[in-house]
Chains A and B, each alone.
Chain A
Amino acid sequence: MHEIICMLIGRLLLLLVAAYELIWRLRQRLHALVFWSYDYWRSTAARERAERAVLERCRFECTKLPKHLVLVIAPNEAYVDAVLLTRLFGFALKVGIQHVSVYDRREQDKGYVDLAAVGEMQADGRFTWPPIKVPKKEENGYKLNGNGYTNGGTPHFEQLKLYQIKANDGHALIADVCRELYQQRKTEFVQNLLQDQRREAITEQISEMLGKRLGFVVPEPELGLIFARQTCTYGLLPWHVRFTEFHTHPSGRYFDVHSFTQLLYKYSRCEQRWGK
Chain B
Amino acid sequence: MSWVSEYEYTWLERTIMRSLRACAHIPHHVAFVMDGNRRFARSQHIDKIEGHSMGFAKLADCLRWCLDIGIREVTTFAFSIENFKRSSEEVEGLFNLAREKFCKLLDETDRLNEHGIRIRVIGNIELLPLDLQKLIALAMLRTEHNDKLFLNVAFSYTSRDEITQAVKTVLELGEEGHLTGEDISERLLEECMYTRHSPPPDLVFRTSGESRLSDFMMWQLSNSVLYFTNVLWPQITIWNFLGSILAFQRDRSQINELKRSERINASHLAKSTNLYSERVQGFLQTMDTNRRELLLKLSVST
* A interface with B by C-beta (< 8 Å): 2-3, 5-7, 9-11, 13-14, 17, 21, 74-76, 105, 170-172, 174-175, 177-179, 181-183, 185, 190, 193-194, 197-199, 202-203, 206, 228-236, 238-239, 241-247, 270, 272, 274-276
The bracket for how many chain B residues form the interface is 35 or more
B181 and A14 form a contact (CB under 8 A)? no
Docked Cα-Cα span, A185 to B184, in Å, equals: 13
Name the residue on A nearest B269 (C-beta). A172
Those 7 A-B pairs whose CB atoms lie nearest each other, nearest first: A275-B82, A10-B23, A10-B19, A235-B222, A230-B251, A171-B186, A242-B215
Which residues from chain B contact A21 at a C-beta distance below 8 Å? Answer: 250
A-B contacts at CB below 8 angstroms, number: 176
- Report whether A244 and B212 are in contact in the complex, using a CB–CB cutoff of 8 Å: yes
Do A239 and B171 have beta carbons less than 8 Å apart?
A: no
B213 contact set on A, CB distance < 8 A: 233, 241-242, 244, 246
Docked complex Cα distance between A133 and B262 (Å): 42
Q: Are B184 and A6 in contact (CB under 8 A)?
A: no
Q: Which of B160, B210, B211, B255 contacts A239 (CB 8 A)?
A: B160
A51 to chain B, nearest CB (A): 25
Q: Which of B66-74, B102-110, B223-231 contacts A (4 or more CB under 8 A)?
A: B223-231
Q: Please, which residues of chain A bring their CB within 8 A of the CB of B257?
A: 75-76
In the bound complex, residues from chain A placing their C-beta under 8 Å from that of B227 are 231
* Complex partner residue of A199 from B86, B168, B186, CB under 8 angstroms: B168
Binds A, one of B52-60, B112-120, B136-144, B172-180: B172-180
Partner of A175, one of B16, B188, B212: B188
From A2, A11, A175, A228, B254 is in contact (CB under 8 Å) with A228
Q: Tell me whether B246 is interfacial, beta carbon within 8 Å.
A: yes
A199-B184 contact, Cβ under 8 Å, with A231-B226, A242-B159 = no
Does B80 lie at the interface of the complex (its beta carbon under 8 Å from any beta carbon of A)?
yes
Given contacts A5-B15, A7-B22, A238-B222, 4 further A-B contacts (CB under 8 A): A6-B22, A179-B184, A197-B126, A247-B211
